[in-house]
Amino acid sequence: RSIAARYKTELLDIYTTVRVPVVRRDSLDQEILDIKRRQIKNTALAVLSRLDTPDIHQMIRDQFTRGSCATDTLAAFSLYMDSSAGDRYTLLDSFEPESKKNPVGWENFLSVIAANSSRDVLGLIFRVEQSDAFQIEQANDQRALYGGFAQNRKKSLQTNEGRDFLQKSLLKLAPINEHSTVAMLRVFGALDSMEE
């Protein structure tokens, strides 16, 4: 946040300078260059997002609605879900139908929700669990939502409500898929390196 505040103008310049429309190229070298530019642009936007101000919310929303590739759209969706913008649930509701159209899009959607850092991450997860597209029996849904949340240690281990949800998720998932459940248990490997 301090970096974003101090270098806001420079970060905005970087963001605008490296914005590249997605055009399929004949040259792999040019494709790689475009990918790197998008990475720089999305990193600049991620740093700016820590300011959590209405002007930055608008930038993120603009990238989400005008994104020319899945990477840009997903990066913006993730940053918006982490923000304090008042219309996050509206954006969630608008993006869910698009995400449900294919398994990869749906898994990415669930992963973004699970990795969320906002105060109401559990509210977002509960909302997504109610979706008709969420199938707890599907390994990719389990891995993306519950496994993703387990790996989100700042929420799953470092908050009381996160630990409570993690416990309930493990108990709910164990009779359905032991493999996914055991994979989630890896999160506890970090306990020895954490402060009490």
Task: Summarize pLDDT for 21-43 with one digit per residue, the tens.
Answer: 666 667 787 788 888 989 999 99
Task: Summarize pLDDT for 109-157 with one digit per residue, the tens.
Answer: 999 999 999 989 999 999 999 999 999 999 999 999 999 999 999 999 9
pLDDT band at 12; cut points 50, 70, 90: very high
Q: Output the pTM of the full model.
A: 0.88
Q: What does the alpha-carbon distance between residue 144 and residue 149 come to, in Å, rounded to a whole number?
A: 8
**Cβ atoms of 110 and 81 closer than 8 Å:** no
